Amino acid sequence: MVLGFLVLLVYWLAGEALSQWIGWPIPGNVVGLVLLWITLTLLKKVPQPVAEASKMLIRYLTLLFVPAGVGLIEHWDRLMANGHWMLLIIAISTVLAALAMIATFKLFRVNAS
């Protein structure tokens, strides 16, 4: 499992380095995730150490939502003043993300037969 965490850490650091080096406005962790996705797609499988580390991280994923909840309480006045606009933006971006996902699935659809 330590090897799996090391692999995930290397991809995260590579993404951070690449994002800083190129000067992209995309966060380095997202770049690292895309690099990992490309690697796993080319391998056509998930190596066992990476799978084990990922399963363990997913088990504790809910802990990552605690800071977001604290942030909501911290900025409660902003939420009350601009909450309707935030909800509208979230709704629109959710619909756009769903449409993009549908278009991607249709673009890369593979027939089972």
Residue 8: name the closest of 44, 67, 69, 57 by CA.
57
Q: Which of 11-20, 51-60, 76-85 has the lowest mean pLDDT?
A: 76-85
With a cut of 80, say whether residue 61 has pLDDT above it. yes
The overall longest dimension of the chain from CA atoms, in Å, is 56
Q: Which residue has the higher pLDDT, 86 or 13?
A: 13
With a cut of 70, say whether residue 112 has pLDDT above it. no
Residue 111's pLDDT is what?
64
Residue 66's pLDDT is what?
82
Distance separating alpha carbons of residues 11 and 31, to the nearest angstrom = 9
Q: Counting every residue, how long is the chain?
A: 113
Helix axes 48-59, 2-22, angle to 10 degrees: 80
With a cut of 70, say whether residue 93 has pLDDT above it. yes
